[in-house]
Each structure stands twice: as structure tokens, then as C-alpha cells.
Amino acid sequence: KMVLKAILEDTYNLMKVIKRGREVVSGSIAERICDSYKQLSLAEKETFFNMLVSDHGVAETTKIGITLDRSNPVESIQRLQNLRHITQPQFAGLFRVLGKAQGGVKFMVNMRTDLSKLTGKSTVEATPAIVPVIDHELKQLLSVWFSSGLFHLQRATWESPSRLLEKVAASEAVHPILGWQDLKRRVGAYKRCFVFTHPCLPGEPLVILHAALLENVADTMEKIVPALFEHMPDSVEDPARVKVANFYSISRPIDGLSGIDLGSNIVRRVMHRLQAEYPKLQHFSSLSPIPGFNNWLFGQINRHLQHEVFARILDDVRPESSDLLPLFSDETHVKMMQLFDVDNNKDLYTKLSMTLESQEWITSPVLVSELKQPLMKLCARYLFALKHRGHALDPIANFHLRNGAVMYRLCWQADQSPNGLSQSCGMMVNYRYYPELTEGFSEKYYFTKRIPVGEPFASVISIEPDSLPLDP
């Protein structure tokens, strides 16, 4: 409590300094606030956040009124700038000063991580409302500070500092690294581990990208995982075998930077780095998970199930639902009824949901064969048609498309691990990168929100594919 009292007093004093325009003398107070904050419990941090909003949010005398004159653009812009200043929360100025303190940027990143921990765990009634308010200001500042043009790209090897290698190992959530020998292989021959760092957080990996240098585009994890153990770490690479760079894991280890745009050229920079090493390397692809598909699919199944239950209550007079799209075509619907041996939609959706949740269907050749087409069509719809502000809803799809990739191929039974089945019924996606087309595709996706697709993906949902270079 003594520390909490001290940080509240220092915050009041620092806000007075800021309001007087004397930020230059605020360094020692800012550093004390940063040091005190680290000693607070999560509950005390919650009290601190609530104080920021209640006591340092909006000045009591703030009045907003503005008239703009297009015939006098300079004066109008000055008025807009003044408006921007007075409409910012007062604690935004506090954050700017704290960010300039020694270790201040890392402090702000950690503060944003603490905010996320309070979501759903708050003990103060006002907290759920103030979390997004503070997070918005932190996100705005961090987005400016972490300019993608300042990212430093380096390859992690077995000779890299142990601290960096430890962070690489700890950050790998997609395909966990099983000890030092496994890590040695992941950074050894025919593998590449690239790390992006930034001057604002020296020595901290912001993005980690793993690639396997293979002879073909991998469409299952079974083709990538054995490659991780095929070669000894000290093997000499044969350039003739390096034909495709398969990106199989991309992670962002720092929770406090979630949602921060770290740039749309991450993969392109890695491609250029690999081509500098292997000038004849022209084929690049990812094998990417689809983490949100099952959640969306089960949500759709439950909506249809509720619709059927409601219809029965109304004696089979089904209410119209303009946004309730059919899961299957008429022909596929009949086949699914036969497959699950049911004669009504309620039983169909119930059995389908239970089957997919159990994951036992993957051991049945009949179910694997019969579910392939309907599940792939649904997954393709999820990836291609579902949007957030015009761009792909799936975050991994959006990442690759912004980097200039093509949604090339939907891969059936690509990841049959429990995690792969629970995320996307075992499906994964190849996002292909064509070096001469990536920049154009990236710009087109950003401005027109159009998703480029390859013929294998297009055939699943019967749309026209983009014109792409032929594979040799």
C-alpha cells in the first residue's frame, strides 16, 4: 500500500509538470513511477489504472467547439491540431513522458500486458470500461514507436547468444521445441530461424520466423516435421536440394504488442535474405494453421441447431433468418443425412457437432472421405468470404495477404495432431509467395481488399483463380 500511495502521488506531481509544459524536468519522477509500478500487485495496478481515468482523463473545463473555413486552410488545420490536443485524455501525455524514461518503452509494453490480464478478472466495477480506453492510448503510442522501417533482421544460429536461443525456444508455440538438441536442428542445416528486433526493445525478438528448405511445397506437417530431424545440424547443405522455402512457424512472442501492426513486409524481407544466400531460389510458401475455423464452424452449427429447435416449438413454421446461410448445398445435405443416418436437420447438426468434437472421426476412412468435400468448402468460405473491415477475418490469412501472398491451396489432413483437429479439423493452408508479384498483391489487397487465389483453392469453391506463374 505504501508503494501504491507513492506512485499515485508521483503521478499527480508528474501531471502537474506536464500541464506546465516542463516535461524536460520530469525524468526522475517518471523513472520513480516506472520503478514503483513494477512492485505493484495486479489488484494495485487495477487501482492505478482506474485512477488514471477518473483523475487524469478529461479536464473539467474542456469545451469543444470548432469552425473550419476551407478558404483559410492553415488556420483550419491549426484549429484541428488544437482540437486534437484538447480531446486527448490527459494521461496520454503521461504515457508519452513515461515512454521516454530509461526502459520506458518496455515498461509501456508490460503495462499493456497487465491490462489484458484484467479482462474478465477485474475486482473493480469500472475496470471493464476503462481497460479499452487506456489500451487505445497505449496502442496508438506503441504503433508510432514500433516503426517497421527500423526492424533489424538477423538469422539465429547455434552460435547466437544463448539468451536469444532461449527466447526462440520459449516462444515456439506452434511446434514446441523439445530440448537443446531439437533447437540445434531448428537453427541448423536446411532450416532457417529469422528474428526481428527493434531499437525500442533491444535484444527482444518481436517476430520469429522458421523455414524449412525443401525440394517441394509441403502440404502436410508430416512432410515438414521429419525434415526437422532428417539432417544433422552440422550437415553441409546441397544447393541443388534447396528448391522451396517453406515457412512453417511465425510467432510474435510479446503479448504487449498484440494488435500492433509490425509492418506488411516481414516475409518479403526474409525472402530477399534467402535469395541473397541462394540466388536461384524462387519458390516460397507457408503451411499455415487456421486457428479460428472450428470456433466459427461450431458457432454456425449451433445457430442452425437453435433454429431447428425454435422451428419445432412453432410447429415446424420456420421463421425467416436472412443471415442464416445454409451449411451445405442441397445435394451435400442429402449425402450428410445419409452418412449420419438421420431424417431431420436437428439430429444431423447434433451428430455432426458430436463427431467433430470427439476427433475420433479422423480414424474412420469413411468419415474422412465423406467429410472432406463439405468441410473443405466450409473452410474455404471461412477463409475467403468472411471479412473484418473488408479484409480477411482469419488473422493468419490477413497477415500473409498483407505481405503479398496468394491463398494458394487448402490442405486436407495437413495437421492431424489434437491441436490441429481442434483448430481446423486438421486442415491447413499454403500461402504462396511469388517474388515478382508480392508487392503488387500486397498493395492490391490493402487498397481493394481483393484476395488473390491459386487454382487449387479456387476449385474448392468454384471461383476463377488468379493468373500465376507456372511451377517448373
Note the pLDDT tens digit of each residue in 313-341.
444 444 444 456 788 998 999 999 999 99
What's residue 319's pLDDT? 41
What's residue 228's pLDDT? 64
Which CATH number is associated with domain 149-288? 3.40.630.150
Mean pLDDT of 228-246: 82
Q: Do domains 2-59+68-145 and 149-288 have the same CATH topology?
A: no
**φ and ψ at residue 346, rounded to 5 degrees:** -60, -50
Residue of higher predicted confidence among 144 and 84: 144
Mean pLDDT of 175-185: 87
Rounded to a whole number of angstroms, the CA Rg of the chain reads: 27
Give 256-310 as a DSSP string.
GGTT----S-HHHHHHHHHHHH-TT--EEEEEE--TTHHHHHHHHHHHHHHHHHH
Q: Does the domain spanning 293-461 belong to CATH 2.120.10.30?
A: no
400 is catalytic: yes
Predicted confidence (pLDDT) per residue in 440-464, tens digit: 999 999 999 999 999 999 999 999 9
Cβ burial 212-230 (10 Å sphere, 16+ → b, else e):
bbbeebbbbbebbbebbee
Break the chain into its structural domains and give their ranges: 2-59+68-145, 149-288, 293-461
Give CA torsion, residues 228, 230, 234, 238, to 10 deg: -110
pLDDT at 264 over 90: no
pLDDT at 310 over 70: no
Using alpha carbons, list the distances in angstroms from residue 446 to 113, 390, 400: 29, 9, 12
Q: What is the mean pLDDT of the chain?
A: 88
What's residue 17's pLDDT? 86
- Is residue 289 within 8 Å of residue 253, measured between CB atoms? no
Q: Does the domain spanning 2-59+68-145 belong to CATH 1.20.140.90?
A: yes
Most confident of 56-70, 120-134, 341-355: 341-355
Residue of higher predicted confidence among 290 and 323: 290
Count Cβ atoms below 10 Å from residue 412 Cβ, excluding itself.
19
Beta bridge partners of 191: 212
What's residue 313's pLDDT? 46
Burial of 390 (0-12, 13-18, 19+ CB in 10 A): exposed
Beta bridge partners of 210: 193, 249
pLDDT at 414 over 90: yes
288 is catalytic: yes
Helix H, strand E, coil C: the string for 72-128 is: CHHHHHHHHHHHHHHHCCHHHHHHHHHHHCCCHHHHHHHHHHHHHHHCCCCCCCCHH
Which of 56, 249, 400, 442 is labelled catalytic? 400
Which of 288, 304, 424, 442 is labelled catalytic? 288
